[in-house]
Amino acid sequence: MFTTVPRVRLAVALAAAVTTASTAAGPVAAAAPSATGCRVDYAISSRWPGGFGAAVTVTNLGSPVTGWQVAWTFAGDERITQLWNGSAAQSGARVSVTNASWNGAVATGGTVSFGFNATSGTTPAVPSAFTLNGAACTGSPTDPPTGGGALVDNNFPVSREAAYGDNRYTVFRPANPQAVGVPMPVLVFGNGACAHTDNSEVTRALTFIASKGVVVVDTGSADGSANGVPSGSPIPSLLTGAITWAEREQNRSGAPLSQRLDLTKVAAAGHSCGGIEALIAAQDSRVSAVVSLDSGLFADGSFGYSRAELARLHSPALFMAGGPSDVAYDNTRANYDLVTVPAVLAMHPQAGHVGFITGSQMTDGMTTVVQFLDMVLNGNATARSYVLDPSGLASKYPWTVSKKNF
């Protein structure tokens, strides 16, 4: 066994110099029963002539474990010389790393990190496959993780932050993505009045959605500073650009959202003018659901988009309106009538044009949005009942709900 280095912190910062381990690799102690899903983030953090340092983070996507063993095969002549936060055994190119005495327990959605220095006469490469307690780490669980359930039952603390490298967006996300336990769906959101700098009006509503385990990428800079994007007219490419931003973050080493997103579960939504952006952006093949809040395409093609665009939708749609006092009331109902995809029309006569965003109907309105997303993106049966069954939202006074093609 290699000597276990005392714990300094769980996320290991590797030294730039090689320190030689004392003994050759030997047999590894028996590990706990197999996990049912895992992901490994392996990063080569430093290099020097004849050697390199690497950091490894393992996320348990399956059942909780009380002891772990991570294994892989190096592609070349790499040999571990020192390891932090565990002990290693190596036979040829095959490596296994076992937990230390103090970090063996890893909950569902939890992580454990270790790092090492190694020698190498060639350019080191990231191994192609890993296992955790014998289970292949594919990045997704093979069984649903324990503690799963309806999105609406979650209540995670939320971080609101500037989008990395792109001042056009603000991100609302669970403050600790690891605590969510599963990859998160993504919602891209367009603001009322097509406000592309200031998103303060929607902060409360989008914080609510993010607290349920959804990553929201909203148009507008986090501090309201100028970002070079004019406001007042729809720019649907901002929302499709937000999806592209999320794709980059999914693969950016060290990003809080790296490998934490489920990019097969992307929705577009928007309020008022931002709803027009969402209805056009939802034509993108990456979008699986669309939400139009107090919005809709105009019969006369105002803002440059005719109602013919609705025929290009390919995913389920939720239309919400605030009753006759909502300036978008007629547009919302007309758009619902015209779409051919599965659609829901939910109306609250007391909400008016902004009640779902800033009024006393915000919680009810955003709960409806979350339930719709859970139904469409996750196939959650409880959420489906809430949205579609007469005993769900439709039974809550004074809501009225219509549906078609479901």
Q: For residue 94, count other CB atoms closer than 10 A to its CB.
A: 12
Looking at residue 38, its pLDDT comes to 85
Could you tell me if 196 and 86 lie in one domain?
Answer: no
Instruction: Please name every residue paired with 171 in a beta bridge, in sequence order, or none if there are none.
Output: 161, 217
pLDDT of residue 140: 60
Answer yes or no: do 180 and 291 share one domain.
Answer: yes
CA 283 to chain centre: 21
Residue 222's pLDDT is 93
- Which pLDDT belongs to residue 28? 33
Nearest alpha carbon to residue 274 among 192, 356, 200: 192
Instruction: Specify the CATH number for the domain of residue 204.
Output: 3.40.50.1820
Does any domain span residue 126?
Answer: yes
Q: In terms of domains, do 60 and 23 share one? A: yes
Rounded CA-CA distance 181/146 in Å is 9
Asked whether residue 141 is domain-assigned, the answer is: no
Does any domain span residue 211?
yes
Domain total of the chain: 2
Q: Domain containing 23 — which CATH number?
A: 2.60.40.290
Report pTM.
0.66
Rounded to 10 deg, the angle between the 203-210 and 362-378 helix axes is 40
If asked whether residues 304 and 186 sit together in one domain, one would say: yes
Q: CA 30 to CA 32: how far, in whole Å? A: 7
**Is 121 in the same domain as 183?**
no
Answer whether residue 381 is part of any domain: yes
In angstroms, rounded to a whole number, what is the distance separating the alpha carbons of residues 74 and 357? 53
- Note whether 326 and 210 are same-domain residues: yes
Q: Where is the domain boundary, 77, 111, 136?
A: 136
Q: Are residues 95 and 166 in the same domain?
A: no
**Do 325 and 265 reside in the same domain of the chain?**
yes
Residue 142 belongs to some domain of the structure:
no
**Which pLDDT does position 172 carry in this prediction?**
97
Contacts of 244 (CB under 8 A, 6+ apart): none
Q: Are residues 52 and 95 in the same domain?
A: yes
d(CA 372, CA 344): 9
Does residue 131 sit in the same domain as residue 175?
no
| Closest by Cα among 163, 140, 130 to 41 | 130
d(CA 393, CA 344): 11
Of 136, 166, 192, which one is at a domain's C-terminal end?
A: 136
Q: What are all long-range contacts of 197-204, with beta carbons under 8 Å and residues at least 24 apart?
A: 197/221, 197/224, 197/225, 197/226, 197/227, 197/229, 197/231, 198/224, 198/231, 199/170, 200/224, 201/354, 201/357, 201/358, 202/271, 202/357, 203/160, 203/172, 204/357, 204/358, 204/362
Token pair 């060639």 in the structure block, residue: 122
Q: What is the pLDDT along the chain (406 residues), one digit of tens a residue?
A: 333 333 332 232 222 232 333 333 333 333 333 335 788 888 888 889 999 999 999 988 877 888 899 999 998 899 999 999 999 999 889 999 999 999 999 888 888 999 999 999 988 888 888 888 877 888 765 444 333 478 999 999 999 999 999 999 999 999 999 888 889 999 999 999 999 999 999 999 999 999 999 999 999 999 999 999 999 999 999 999 999 999 999 999 999 999 999 999 999 999 999 999 999 999 999 999 999 999 999 999 999 999 999 999 999 999 999 999 999 999 999 999 999 999 999 999 999 999 999 999 999 999 999 999 999 998 888 999 999 999 999 999 999 999 999 8
Strand partners, 269: 189, 291
Beta-bridge mates of residue 40:
58
pLDDT of 35 reads 36
pLDDT of residue 182: 87
Contact criterion met (CB below 8 Å) for 70 and 104: no
pLDDT at residue 17 in the model? 30
Range of the domain at 50: 4-136
- Domain assignment present for residue 146? The answer is no
Residue at 256 is within a domain: yes
* 276 and 358 assigned to the same domain: yes
Q: Which residue, 111, 136, 161, sits at the end of a domain?
A: 136
- One domain, residues 131 and 157: no
| 143 lies in some domain | no
